[in-house]
Amino acid sequence: MSEKNSSFMAEISALPTDLKAYFKQETAEPEFKDLSPGEYNVTIQGLKVLDSRIKDWKGTKKSVLPKYVDFTPQIGARFVSTEGAGSIVSRFNLLAFDKWDDLTPEEQESGKYEPVGEYACVKDDDGELIRTPSESGMVTVNRIQASVAHALGMTGESFALALDKAMQEKVVFGIRVEPHEYKGQVYSRVVSYFPVKAEIEADTEIDISNI
What does the pLDDT read at residue 202? 45
Is residue 55 within 8 A of residue 62, CB to CB? The reply is yes
The predicted model scores a pTM of 0.77
Q: How far is CA 208 from CA 5, 85, 144, 189, in A?
A: 47, 22, 7, 10
* Residue-level pLDDT at 200: 45
Distance from the Cα of residue 71 to its chain's centroid: 14
Q: Taking the CB of residue 102, how many other CB atoms lie within 10 A of it?
A: 15
Domains of the chain: 32-96+140-207 (2.40.50), 97-132 (no CATH)
Nearest to 206 by CA among 165, 178, 175, 180: 175
Distance CA 163, CA 155 (A): 11
Residues of the chain with pLDDT under 50: 1-3, 199-204, 211
Quick: pLDDT tens for 147-186: 999 999 999 889 999 999 999 999 999 999 999 887 788 8
- Residue 81's Cβ-side half-sphere holds a number of Cα atoms within 13 Å equal to 18
Find, among 85, 206, 209, the residue nearest to 152 by Cα.
206
Strand, coil or helix: 10: helix
Per-chain mean pLDDT for the chain: 87
